[in-house]
Amino acid sequence: MYLQNRLDYPTPQYAHVPLVRDRDGAKISKSDGAHPLDPAKPLSALKAAWQFLRQMPMPERVQDPELFWTHAAKTWCIDLLRDAHSAYPDEKTA
């Protein structure tokens, strides 16, 4: 941020993305044997991630990844992400 200020650049908003955990509270990761996402069905994974991050629901008309990203870029709310993160008070952040 120091360099941004010195160059008169605006400071972006930062937020921590919460970890995805299983029912037992363990982090879900490939290194622990989690199943990969299905590349043939990216929209369902995108919508699940969007919901996990507590963003507003996608309209029914969003039926393909390109439209998903268009809508997501217009409706992203970082404050909702912060609310999602606060649901994990025990999580350590860097």
Distances (CA, A) of 67 to 35, 56, 81: 26, 15, 21
Q: For residue 41, what are its two tokens?
A: 């069905």
The pLDDT of residue 90: 47
- The 8-class DSSP code of residue 32 comes to G
Longest dimension (CA), the chain: 46
What percent of the chain clears pLDDT 90, i.e. is strictly above it? 39
CA distance 86 to 90: 9
For the record, the structure tokens of 52 come out as 């996990």
User: pLDDT of the chain along its 94 residues, tens only?
Assistant: 888 889 999 988 777 788 888 888 888 888 888 888 888 989 999 999 999 889 999 999 999 999 999 999 999 998 888 765 544 444 444 4
71: amino acid identity, one letter: H
